[in-house]
């Protein structure tokens, strides 16, 4: 093993190759070394990713010195003198940025933590981030976000000393410029700093010409291909494993270091063992073996400020069936849970949602004007559209809820009134659609009407948290699909921000995030489900088949999008649903023209 000094010099050399000032690199290396308790591994990991990040911060916030002191290049880094305290901790802007990008609570002693706070909807293991993890956590963000997060740095006016790289945007792409070369970071690809360094060195050896524009040969998610070959990576759940697995790993970008790659998606099971069934990934159309990365979670998780009160004390006698046992569906009279759904159970003994219940929910979606709406005094949706003078509330449909039995009920887990909480049982597949909708979800088997497919799972955000994300993602040209839990808005006064909730599956979600939209005649319907709390400010969103579905058919639901609405933060996509009832008028016109040219 090399000495501290050798490793320090190596780190500084690597920074110099990237065009950073060596003296500054030495200072930052020392600071990080101290921060990580004299441990080199986090600093060296991923080809010095954390160090590069800290260097970019350093040069973005302080003017670079014009020249490097004489002889500095030859000096050993002398990291053994840890008493020399130049800086006490990470640069504040680094943390501000990391908090934004991977916004979890502060570091804790253990990497995993059982979440037992009473304002969270589920008890589920999730990663707690160490300070190093928070830097790595950035890897899980969509590529364009990760790239956009690189701070714009100012070129030094130094003489003879390499300047720090300067970032410039070019459309959706990013250019990293230094006197050694220009590197184009393509929007859709992942940044690999090692390749960046190699590209810069190459440009340097070719005479340091600025004209040459190197396109970084970014690395693809190797783990997908290898997983397809049946190789299981450290940290991934083996397909054979039966028990639950918690693999919400902090996945670093791939580096060219000879370390074993961490698992990304597992093509044999996108849930990596979280679900009771495996959900494979298939792409017959393009080279992408996997969808972009996200954390697979089986249950909703509170992002930060959402108020999800699920205390047992809130569940009164008429909100549970404490006196029941076994399977409530077999009892001679409907239990209290069934009565609060509709004086009867929502489910049949075969585990399907009753046809009458489905048809009623579909009718509410098809003819919203004929159904009851609640109106907020100050609607959280309108509040953020035009903060100065928000429009009046457009109304929130009064929805039918399924009420499932739960922990305060006397029945058992196999009770027929506990369908959604038991999770996915159908054989599903995430597949790449041929119509330009990206990835989608399909069933591998034929399904009857009323079959539970999956919940729409994601992070639980408040409306202000959602607004921040939406604005940020609109800037990056990204469109997310969050759903408001607005069934009770307007019925109980104006919801406060922490009670006006939505589900965002973009970064943490389940297979529900792959279900594409179809106008009007979709084969799924989304239904609110009450499980842990009678308080309808928080509930589950479950997808059921709205009709019989054939094997291999794509599963779709009607997002209820108004394709004519223009809203800068919520622009709808161009609909490719193929339905004869498609509401996207641009497509209707196209179809009409195509029909006219055929005649």
CB 293 within 8 A of CB 302: no
Angstrom distances, CA of residue 249 to CA of 8, 53, 352: 28, 21, 35
Q: End-to-end CA distance of the chain, in Å?
A: 78
Minimum Å gap between C-beta 559 and ligand SAM is 7
Minimum Å gap between C-beta 475 and ligand SAM is 16
List the one residue out of 222, 212, 202 whose CA is nearest residue 177: 212
Which of residues 246 and 573 has its CB atom nearest to ligand SAM in the complex?
573
- State how far the Cα of 540 lies from the Cα of 526, in Å rounded to an integer: 10
Which of residues 33 and 432 has its CB atom nearest to ligand SAM in the complex?
432
List the one residue out of 325, 487, 547, 313 whose CA is nearest residue 417: 325
Phi-psi region of 406 (alpha: psi -120 to 50; beta: other; left: phi over 0): beta
Within a 10 A sphere around the Cβ of 543, how many other Cβ atoms? 25
CB 427 within 8 A of CB 384: no
CB 385 within 8 A of CB 568: no
Q: Which residues in 456-531 belong to E strands, given as ranges? A: 458-462, 483-484, 501-509, 516-517, 524-530
Minimum Å gap between C-beta 432 and ligand SAM is 8
Measured torsion, CA atoms of residues 73, 77, 83, 87, in degrees rounded to the nearest 10: 60
Which of residues 245 and 570 has its CB atom nearest to ligand SAM in the complex?
570
Find the helix packing angle between 22-35 and 4-17, rounded to 10°.
130
Concatenating the DSSP letter of every residue in 125-168 gives EEEPPPHHHHHHHGGGS-HHHHHHTSPP-PPP--SSSPPPPEEE
Residue 391 is encoded by which pair of tokens? 């429009």
Minimum Å gap between C-beta 279 and ligand SAM is 14
Which of residues 197 and 440 has its CB atom nearest to ligand SAM in the complex?
440
Residue in the block written with tokens 């996200």: 294
Which of residues 418 and 481 has its CB atom nearest to ligand SAM in the complex?
481
Find the helix packing angle between 41-61 and 4-17, rounded to 10°.
50
Minimum Å gap between C-beta 441 and ligand SAM is 8
Which of residues 253 and 439 has its CB atom nearest to ligand SAM in the complex?
439
Which of residues 512 and 528 has its CB atom nearest to ligand SAM in the complex?
512
Minimum Å gap between C-beta 431 and ligand SAM is 10
Could you give the count of Cα atoms lying within 13 Å of 244 in the half-sphere of its Cβ?
A: 12
Which of residues 23 and 297 has its CB atom nearest to ligand SAM in the complex?
297
Which of residues 16 and 479 has its CB atom nearest to ligand SAM in the complex?
479
Residue 56 is encoded by which pair of tokens? 């970019």
Residue in the block written with tokens 């009064």: 398
CB 533 within 8 A of CB 319: no
Minimum Å gap between C-beta 367 and ligand SAM is 21
- The pair phi, psi for residue 178, each rounded to 5°, is -150, 170
CB 116 within 8 A of CB 139: no
- The pair phi, psi for residue 112, each rounded to 5°, is -110, 150
Interacting residues with ligand SAM (CB under 6 A): 291, 437-440, 479, 481, 513-514, 516-517, 573, 575-577
Minimum Å gap between C-beta 145 and ligand SAM is 15
Which of residues 293 and 329 has its CB atom nearest to ligand SAM in the complex?
293
Minimum Å gap between C-beta 567 and ligand SAM is 14
Minimum Å gap between C-beta 340 and ligand SAM is 31
Which of residues 275 and 532 has its CB atom nearest to ligand SAM in the complex?
275
CB within 8 A of 272, min separation 6: which ones?
236, 237, 245, 247, 263, 266, 296
Residue 443 is encoded by which pair of tokens? 């069933």
CB 176 within 8 A of CB 56: no
- State how far the Cα of 94 lies from the Cα of 381, in Å rounded to an integer: 32
Adjacency order of strands within the sheet including 166-170: 166-170, 173-178, 181-185, 213-215
Which of residues 90 and 440 has its CB atom nearest to ligand SAM in the complex?
440
Residue 508 is encoded by which pair of tokens? 């943490």
Cβ-closest position to ligand SAM: 438
Which of residues 432 and 489 has its CB atom nearest to ligand SAM in the complex?
432
Minimum Å gap between C-beta 587 and ligand SAM is 9
Minimum Å gap between C-beta 514 and ligand SAM is 5
Which of residues 172 and 202 has its CB atom nearest to ligand SAM in the complex?
172
Minimum Å gap between C-beta 519 and ligand SAM is 8
Minimum Å gap between C-beta 189 and ligand SAM is 17
DSSP H or E stretch at residue 215: strand 213-215
């Amino acid at each position: 093993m090399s000495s501290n000094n050798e490793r320090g010099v190596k780190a500084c050399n690597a920074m110099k190759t990237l065009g950073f000032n060596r003296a500054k690199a030495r200072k930052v290396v020392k600071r990080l070394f101290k921060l990580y308790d004299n441990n080199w591994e986090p600093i060296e990991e991923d080809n010095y990713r954390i160090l590069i990040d800290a260097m970019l911060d350093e040069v973005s916030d302080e003017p670079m010195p014009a020249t490097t002191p004489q002889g500095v290049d030859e000096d050993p880094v002398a990291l053994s003198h840890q008493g020399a305290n130049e800086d006490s901790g990470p640069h504040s802007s680094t943390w501000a940025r990391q908090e934004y990008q991977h916004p979890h609570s502060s570091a804790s002693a253990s990497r995993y933590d059982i979440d037992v706070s009473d304002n969270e909807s589920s008890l589920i293991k999730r990663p707690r981030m160490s300070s190093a993890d928070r830097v790595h956590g950035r890897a899980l963000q969509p590529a364009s976000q990760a790239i956009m997060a690189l701070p714009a740095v100012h070129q030094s006016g130094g003489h003879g000393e390499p300047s720090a790289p300067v970032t410039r945007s070019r459309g959706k792409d990013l250019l990293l410029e230094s006197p050694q070369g220009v590197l184009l970071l393509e929007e859709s690809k992942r940044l690999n700093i090692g390749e960046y360094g190699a590209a810069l060195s190459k440009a340097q050896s070719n005479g340091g010409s600025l004209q040459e524009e190197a396109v970084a040969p970014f690395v693809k998610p190797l783990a997908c291909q290898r997983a397809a070959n049946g190789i299981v990576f450290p940290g991934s759940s083996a397909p054979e494993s039966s028990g639950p697995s918690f693999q919400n790993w902090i996945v670093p970008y791939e580096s060219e270091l000879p370390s074993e790659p961490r698992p990304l998606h597992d093509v044999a099971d996108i849930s990596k063992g979280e679900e009771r069934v495996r959900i494979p990934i298939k792409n017959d159309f393009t080279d992408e073996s996997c969808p972009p990365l996200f954390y697979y979670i089986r249950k909703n998780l509170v992002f930060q400020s959402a108020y999800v009160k699920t205390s047992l004390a809130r569940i009164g006698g008429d909100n549970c069936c404490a006196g029941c046992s076994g399977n409530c569906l077999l009892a001679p009279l409907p239990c209290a849970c069934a009565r609060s759904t509709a004086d009867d159970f929502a489910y049949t003994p075969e585990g399907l949602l009753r046809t009458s219940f489905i048809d009623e929910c579909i009718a509410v979606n098809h003819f919203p004007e004929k159904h009851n709406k609640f109106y907020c005094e100050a609607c959280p949706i309108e509040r953020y559209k035009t903060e100065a003078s928000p429009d009046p509330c457009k109304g929130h449909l009064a929805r039918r809820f399924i009420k499932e039995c739960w922990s305060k009920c006397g029945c058992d887990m196999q009770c027929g009134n506990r369908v959604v909480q038991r999770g996915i049982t159908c054989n599903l597949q995430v597949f790449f659609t041929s119509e330009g909708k990206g990835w989608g979800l399909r069933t591998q088997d034929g399904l009857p009407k009323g079959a539970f497919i999956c919940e729409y799972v994601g992070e639980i955000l408040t409306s202000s948290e959602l607004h921040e994300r939406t604005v940020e993602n609109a800037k990056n040209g990204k469109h997310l699909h969050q759903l408001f839990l607005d069934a009770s808005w307007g019925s109980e006064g104006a919801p406060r921000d922490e009670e006006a909730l939505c589900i965002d599956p973009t970064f943490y979600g389940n297979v529900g995030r792959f279900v594409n939209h179809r106008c009007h005649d979709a084969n799924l319907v989304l239904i609110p489900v009450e499980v842990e709390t009678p308080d309808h400010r928080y509930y589950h969103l479950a997808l059921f088949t709205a009709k019989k579905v054939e094997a291999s058919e794509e599963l779709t639901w009607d997002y209820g999008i108004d394709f004519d609405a223009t809203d800068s933060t919520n622009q709808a996509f161009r609909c490719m649903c193929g339905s004869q009832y498609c509401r996207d008028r641009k497509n209707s016109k196209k179809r009409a023209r195509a029909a006219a040219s055929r005649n």
